[in-house]
Copies of this chain bind each other. A is one copy, B any other.
């Protein structure tokens, strides 16, 4: 078995044999400079989205000596995304919604500034314009299936903020890239941001909520997804609880899109089975939307950093779960992904491995 599905409702037939385009919307959040809401190390957090997409598109990171890797030695989920892109020859586009560091690959620019400080309720000023840019983009790309991922360090806190702001029961339910999910810290940031921006829970408009405590990835992806549905093409929102927040944003803007049967959430087993979060519980509040969760059998991995996924490290990101779901439906096997990552691991991380050896 390569996929766990919930509410599948024929979605897999929609993506089988279809030419898929992978795109990944990247953004930085200013708050991550001051508050440890992300599991990514503060020294590299500004570089992470760029390094992720360099790996996916080029097969190596350029702006960092190695692809991102966390404190537990767990490699970036971009390694999974790269495996799918390379093995299934899937075109991959980077969309910059505002990153501190820009990737050394061609990228589509939709926004100048990174997401601001959500503690102050000042995430952005232009969420409506970003929605429109995402929509324009979704209308001007060719695909038969659109897979949209994200790389936004700190993005589960903005997900929490937007879900709470829109009136969902999300406290304690968003996931984390860390083994230990700092729920209370995230809630503190969100409460502060919602209060500062005078958001009325469940009453303020979606764009006001996004401007206060969202991130710039969210309206961009929402626009792309709604354009795809209008084009009658299936969309995989490739991510965990961050994409559940995008789903909630889409519902506010276009209820019919949610009911179209063309939008799914594609994530990893690590998010779906996360005991410190509740993706399913969030999505159920939004609608009958298919959830696809990719399995990886990383417990069989030879490299400890990969087995760390099974112990709760990293879990998801850079569209890993969603693109794997698309790739599995189109012939790839979880073992292919694992072997690809194992085979490339020492090449990708040789600079760190060399550093470790020199330290000894």
A-side interface size class: 20 to 34
Task: Give the distance to chain B from A326, nearest Cβ to Cβ, in Å.
Answer: 14
- Is residue A1 within 8 Å, beta carbon to beta carbon, of the partner chain? no
Cα-based distance from A133 to B139 in the complex (angstroms): 23
Residue of B nearest to A56 (CB): B140
Cα-based distance from A106 to B130 in the complex (angstroms): 9
Q: A58-B136, A136-B58 are in contact. Are A142 and B19 (CB under 8 A)?
A: yes
Copies of the polypeptide in the assembly: 2
Contact between chains at A106 and B109 (CB < 8 Å) = yes
Q: A109-B107, A109-B109 are in contact. Are A142 and B140 (CB under 8 A)?
A: no
Instruction: Kindly list chain B residues whose C-beta atoms are within 8 Å of the C-beta of A332.
Output: none
Q: 0/1 per residue, A66-94, Cβ < 8 Å to B?
A: 00000000000000000000000001110
- Is residue A170 within 8 Å, beta carbon to beta carbon, of the partner chain? no
- Enumerate the 8 nearest inter-chain pairs by beta-carbon distance, A residue then B residue, closest first: A91-B140, A106-B137, A142-B142, A106-B110, A109-B109, A108-B108, A106-B133, A106-B108
Pull 19 A–B residue pairs with CB atoms less than 8 Å apart, ordered by A: A57-B136, A58-B136, A91-B140, A91-B141, A92-B140, A102-B109, A105-B136, A106-B108, A106-B109, A106-B134, A106-B136, A106-B137, A107-B108, A108-B108, A108-B109, A109-B109, A141-B141, A141-B142, A142-B142
Write the residues of chain A forming the contact surface with B, with a CB cutoff of 8 angstroms: 19, 21, 57-58, 91-93, 95-96, 102, 105-110, 133-134, 136-137, 139-143
